[in-house]
Amino acid sequence: MASTGATTLVNPATGRGFREVHSVTEAEADAAIESAHAAFPSWRDLPPGERARLLRAFAAVVDAHNEELARLEVENSGHTIGNARWEAGNVRDVLNYYSATPERLVGKQIPVAGGVDITFHEPLGVVGVIVPWNFPMPIAGWGFAPALAAGNTVVLKPAELTPLTAIRIGELALEAGLPPGVFTVVPGKGSVVGNRFVTHPDVHKVVFTGSTEVGKQIMAGCAEQVKHVTLELGGKSANIVFADADVAAAAAEAPGAVFDNAGQDCCARSRILVQRSVYDEFLGRLETAVRDWRVIDPADESSQMGPMVSAGQRDSVLQYVDGATVAFSGDAPSGDGFWLPAMVVESSGVAEPVWREEVFGPLVAVMAFDDEDEAVALANDSDYGLSGSIYTGDLGRALRVSRGVQTGNLSVNSHASVRYWTPFGGYKMSGLGRELGPDAPYAFTEEKNVFIAT
């Protein structure tokens, strides 16, 4: 049934409501899908150079509004201003990158007897993109930019908690000259709007980023119509530090690998595995780095971490803290807002919830290992497989362990996992399909094969 009403948005840094946003009803979601369906043929049939030009114009308008978008994200999501500027810039960059797609979406000519065989990559139609609250701008762009570039129209549902930047980007698309119906932002509930993307027969693909639990429901729903689906789900990634690594560098970088965005990051390296012979040295250096980690007002230029997105998310993290022994933690503001400090737990065993489950907050579990085989086995002892890091000075080991760890995105002597021009996605319960990189637009097409007898 349709749901009506409005959501009150709360500033996570103050805990105070600041804006009401209309929650789209089922009938309104249907209307948005129908206008995207109506806009599809003319968007698909635009000359490739013209579609490319419109995407570049869209990127330029997003760029011109970088500061406005970043400020909205600070207020709505509690992201640090530095991160939020990067996130708006990422939308611009992803649009620019995929603006090169329309003129390069080439098929093949395959040798055959008695004729000519050629392939075409044809857009699917309407693509529904469902976005979580943790990275409202980048995750939206990773879906809509390659989908639009490949000739699809898009309906996009932001998370209930964090719709403001997506709504603004939808307005900027029109300002840039995209025809109405080509890209429509539809804020509302998952059970109403998101569910309609799954059940409406005129949506031909669902791109879902969010929890593994909801992702399974989306996949089951899409199966009813044999609908295309991409899932980007949870993670419990390992940061493996070998004794032959630059231990000081590994410890200095570890907070950024897990506490960025207050740990509300599917790629957070929330398990740190340290070779026993350097365990004490690593932990000592990590403690210094964690105490220096600046958890302050996210609007402050020097802030490294803001609040949790909501009281609910803060309380969910605190449940893990209750059952664990915190070895040390950093500082955080007290008083209003959904604040937590950066926290480090020494894990006593692999059965502990803090070791196994995705906490999605600023809490990291550390454990010692003895040799390479054990490190790989511990890293792989997880339902998830999204990202991870390996710190070592031995190139052979870096390659062996990279091949051994069952995860989609690994970094050696680094914790950066996402570049828009390289593929991104998970193994196991972390997802299905890949986003970003040179091949992403093909995931928004059907490949058609045509044989012409000569």
Question: Where in the sequence numbering do the catalytic residues fall?
Answer: 232, 266
327 to 366, contacts with ligand NAD by CB under 6 A?
A: 358, 360
The torsion of the CA quartet 182, 135, 411, 431, rounded to 10 degrees, works out to: -70
Is residue 131 close enough to count as binding ligand NAD by CB under 6 A? yes
Helix, coil or strand: residue 424: strand
- Three-class SS state of 364: strand
Q: How far is the CB of 358 from ligand NAD (least distance, A)?
A: 6
Residue with tokens 């309380």: 315
Contact with ligand NAD (CB under 6 A): which of 52, 130, 185, 286? 130
Location of structure tokens 């290992």: 369
Please identify, using beta-carbon distances, which residue of 327 and 432 lies nearer to ligand NAD.
432
Size of the site for ligand NAD (CB under 6 A): 32
Q: Say whether residue 214 binds ligand NAD (CB under 6 A).
A: yes
- Measured from the CB atom, the residue of 133 and 369 that comes closer to ligand NAD is 133
Q: In angstroms, what is the minimal distance from the CB of 209 to ligand NAD?
A: 5
CB–CB of 411/424 below 8 Å? Answer: no
User: Which residue carries 């500082």 as its tokens?
Assistant: 331
Question: Of 262 and 386, which has the nearer Cβ to ligand NAD?
Answer: 386
Which residues between 11 and 50 bind ligand NAD (CB under 6 A)?
none
Residue type, 184: T
Dmax (CA) of the chain: 78
Given the complex with ligand NAD, which of 112 and 220 has the nearer CB atom?
A: 220
- Helix, strand or coil for residue 367? strand
Q: Which residue, 151 or 170, has its beta carbon nearer to ligand NAD?
A: 170
Nearest Cα neighbor of 232 from 436, 430, 437 is 430
Residues 389/368, Cβ–Cβ less than 8 Å: no
- Assess contact for 14 and 337: CB atoms under 8 A: yes
- Comparison of 338 and 369: residue with beta carbon closer to ligand NAD: 338
Select from 3, 42, 109, 191 the one that contacts ligand NAD (CB under 6 A).
191
- What residues contact 23, with CB distance under 8 A and at least 6 apart? 3, 4, 5, 6, 7, 160, 187, 188, 189, 192
Smallest distance from ligand NAD to CB 227, Å: 13
Considering only residues 128, 194, 341, 388, which one is a binding residue for ligand NAD as defined by CB under 6 A? Answer: 194
Residue 217 sits in the site that holds ligand NAD (CB under 6 A): yes
Q: In whole angstroms, what is the distance from residue 333 CA to residue 121 CA?
A: 53
268, with CB counted inside 10 A (0-12, 13-18, 19+), is buried
Are 198 and 227 within 8 A, CB to CB?
yes
Of the pair 136, 181, the CB lying nearest ligand NAD is at: 136
Query: Site mask, ligand NAD, residues 368-397, x = CB under 6 A?
Result: ------------------x-----------
Instruction: Say how far apart CA 382 and CA 90 lie, in whole Å.
Output: 30
Return all residues near 67 (Cβ < 8 A) that are at least 6 apart.
85
Closest approach of Cβ 31 to ligand NAD, in Å? Answer: 18
- Residue from 42, 64, 61 nearest 51 by CA: 42
Residue 349: both structure tokens together = 């065993």
Q: Which of 13, 124, 173, 233 binds ligand NAD (CB under 6 A)?
A: 233
Told to check if 234 binds ligand NAD by CB under 6 A, we report yes
Contact residue for ligand NAD among 12, 123, 125, 132 (CB under 6 A): 132
263 part of the interface to ligand NAD, by CB under 6 A: no
Q: Is 184 in the site for ligand NAD (CB under 6 A)?
A: no
Contacts with ligand NAD in 386-445 (CB under 6 A)? 386, 426, 430-431
Q: By the criterion CB under 6 A, which residues form the site for ligand NAD?
A: 130-135, 139, 157, 159-160, 190-191, 194-195, 198, 209-211, 214, 217-218, 232-235, 266, 358, 360, 386, 426, 430-431
